[in-house]
């Protein structure tokens, strides 16, 4: 990059919310004709930095330099005039308007006092043809796929003669085929001289697209790597401050206690035909299998969220019958659901309220809340799991995915469970949040909690589990332990490629 001059520089940028610094002294240089990936765990400051660039936030200190000259961005219009466009993860279009009307929104062409729709559509179609779009300028945006709506956003940036395009997790809702098309388009724009800032958590995308990668951690710039020097282990070290092989920190020396949970021929006559398993105190047991094998449904049976038609459930040797999740919670069982936004969190409520939701009834006296104890619970949870919020009254819906997940986990650790069921505990979170969740699991196991972990990530199952049960078509296909816990053995059981559990366990 030394032969080129940067089109954009962000120098010593800081952003403070109250007493909380989201960014501290961050400097970044962007060159024309490059795809510059920006990485970092959730809460590292990536989105905040880009919102400052787009004029949605104003920096507390620092400066933005455009073409070698300081440039003041005090609002979105200033950014647009500078040729900077930010495409947010959530599509920002008017769904009931046409593509052309969205492209010209706020700057409509007129003739004799009337909107000149024909000219708008002609100019829009020229841009769409340049992008090889498969839809027309007069199409209504609501009729387009998410991938096509992203093309509309890109077309709008091109029509505005944008020189810097910021894309924030653009493939989050795309299929693999749509992702391939987006990649081809991004590379085309790069080759035409546009500077592209690409935010993603996905290593495969970074290797596919980036010419350079910069990493933020805790609101600070850590460093950059050129494409030829990219290394997943080095990127992870930069993002979380430790090597990749330290990510799974399961302590194999934790002493295993008595059997906490035992399922005997459990079934619901539908998704779970027959399943038997056991989990001991201090043990992390993985539950693996292909999508649709019945893993989540089995967890719901255990937690009382799904009626069972056969089998018995034993808790510490005693037969139990849960008619609802409330019964399971009262018995000392917590369950992290697979879909945190739809099944777990109260998105419009504060972090504090979400954390103490499962303990409110326990800590109430004559229907009066113990506010002091509740504040202590949420304060301890925020500190122990490093939930990145300026205070506990922040609305949970505005947090990053990793911080949302940690809030939900904190709810269940607050009840001091004897059994903790974790359904996809690290889905949709970055590598830093994963490491903190793994640490929490190890700490809970060390305290004698029995943990049943469902995960679709085989490295996670292998790295964290003391034993593994594999489900196939509603049944337990086999059990693996010790050296037999490998990705190959898990997939063999999940697909039916192995003969019996006893040969691999």
- The average confidence (pLDDT) of the chain is 85
Q: Please answer whether residues 355 and 378 qualify as being in contact, where contact means their C-beta atoms are separated by less than 8 angstroms.
A: yes
> Could you tell me the pTM of the whole model?
0.59
pLDDT of residue 458: 82
How far apart CA 312 and CA 278 sit, in angstroms, is: 12
pLDDT of residue 8: 96
How large is the average pLDDT for residues 458-464?
87
Going edge to edge, which strands form the sheet with 475-481? 333-336, 419-423, 450-454, 284-289, 467-472, 475-481
What tens digit of pLDDT does each residue of 118-176 get? 999 999 999 999 888 889 999 999 999 888 998 899 999 889 889 999 998 888 777 77
What tens digit of pLDDT does each residue of 355-396 get? 766 555 565 555 555 566 666 666 776 676 677 676 767 776
How far apart CA 240 and CA 419 sit, in angstroms, is: 29
Residue 253 has pLDDT above 80, yes or no: no
pLDDT of residue 414: 77
pLDDT of residue 347: 66
pLDDT of residue 502: 42
pLDDT of residue 91: 80
Adjacent-strand bridge partners of 472: 475
pLDDT of residue 359: 56
Location of structure tokens 């787009």: 54
DSSP label at residue 254: P
What tens digit of pLDDT does each residue of 316-326 get? 999 999 989 88
Between these two residues, 191 and 384, which has the higher pLDDT value? 191
CB-CB neighbours of 304 under 10 Å? 22
pLDDT of residue 501: 43
How large is the average pLDDT for residues 85-94?
84
């Amino acid at each position: 990059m030394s032969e080129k001059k940067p089109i954009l520089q962000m120098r010593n940028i800081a952003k403070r919310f109250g007493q909380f610094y989201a960014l501290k002294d961050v400097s970044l240089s962007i060159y024309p004709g490059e795809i510059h990936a920006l990485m970092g765990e959730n809460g590292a400051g990536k989105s905040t930095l880009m919102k400052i660039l787009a004029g949605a936030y104003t920096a507390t200190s620092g400066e933005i330099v455009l073409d070698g000259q300081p440039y003041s961005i005090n609002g979105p219009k200033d950014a647009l005039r500078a040729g900077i466009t930010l495409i947010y993860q959530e599509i920002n279009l008017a769904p009931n308007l046409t593509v052309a009307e969205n492209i010209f929104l706020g700057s409509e062409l007129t003739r004799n006092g009337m909107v000149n729709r024909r000219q708008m559509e002609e100019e829009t179609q020229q841009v769409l043809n340049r992008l090889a779009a498969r839809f027309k300028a007069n199409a209504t945006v609501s009729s387009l796929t998410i991938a096509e709506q992203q093309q509309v956003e890109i077309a709008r940036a091109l029509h505005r003669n944008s020189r810097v395009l910021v894309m924030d997790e653009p493939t989050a809702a795309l299929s693999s085929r749509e992702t391939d098309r987006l990649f081809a388009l991004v590379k085309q724009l790069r080759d035409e001289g546009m500077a592209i800032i690409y935010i993603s958590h996905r290593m495969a995308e970074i290797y596919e697209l980036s010419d350079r990668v910069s990493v933020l951690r805790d609101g600070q710039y850590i460093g950059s790597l050129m494409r030829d020097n990219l290394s997943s282990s080095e990127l992870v070290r930069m993002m979380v401050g430790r090597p990749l092989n330290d990510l799974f920190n399961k302590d194999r020396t934790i002493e295993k206690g008595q059997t906490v949970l035992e399922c005997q021929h459990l079934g619901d006559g539908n998704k779970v035909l027959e399943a038997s398993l056991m989990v001991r105190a201090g043990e992390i047991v993985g539950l693996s299998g292909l999508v649709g094998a019945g893993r989540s449904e089995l967890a719901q049976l255990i937690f009382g969220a799904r009626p069972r038609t056969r089998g018995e459930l034993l808790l510490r040797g005693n037969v139990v019958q849960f008619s609802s999740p409330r019964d399971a919670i009262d018995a000392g069982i917590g369950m992290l659901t697979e879909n945190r936004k739809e099944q777990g969190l109260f998105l419009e409520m504060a972090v504090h309220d979400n954390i103490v939701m499962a303990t409110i009834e326990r800590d109430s006296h004559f229907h009066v809340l113990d506010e002091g104890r509740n504040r202590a619970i949420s304060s301890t949870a925020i500190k122990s799991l490093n939930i990145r919020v300026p205070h506990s009254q922040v609305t949970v819906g505005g947090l990053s995915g990793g911080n949302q997940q940690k809030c939900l986990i904190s709810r269940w650790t607050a009840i001091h469970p004897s059994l903790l069921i974790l359904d996809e505990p690290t889905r949709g979170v970055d590598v830093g949040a994963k490491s903190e969740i793994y640490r929490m699991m190890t700490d809970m196991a060390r305290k004698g909690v029995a943990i049943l972990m469902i995960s679709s990530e085989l490295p996670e199952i292998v790295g964290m589990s003391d034993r593994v049960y594999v489900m196939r078509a509603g049944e337990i296909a086999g059990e693996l332990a010790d050296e037999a816990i490998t990705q190959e053995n898990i997939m063999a059981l999940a697909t039916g490629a192995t003969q019996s559990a006893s040969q691999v366990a």
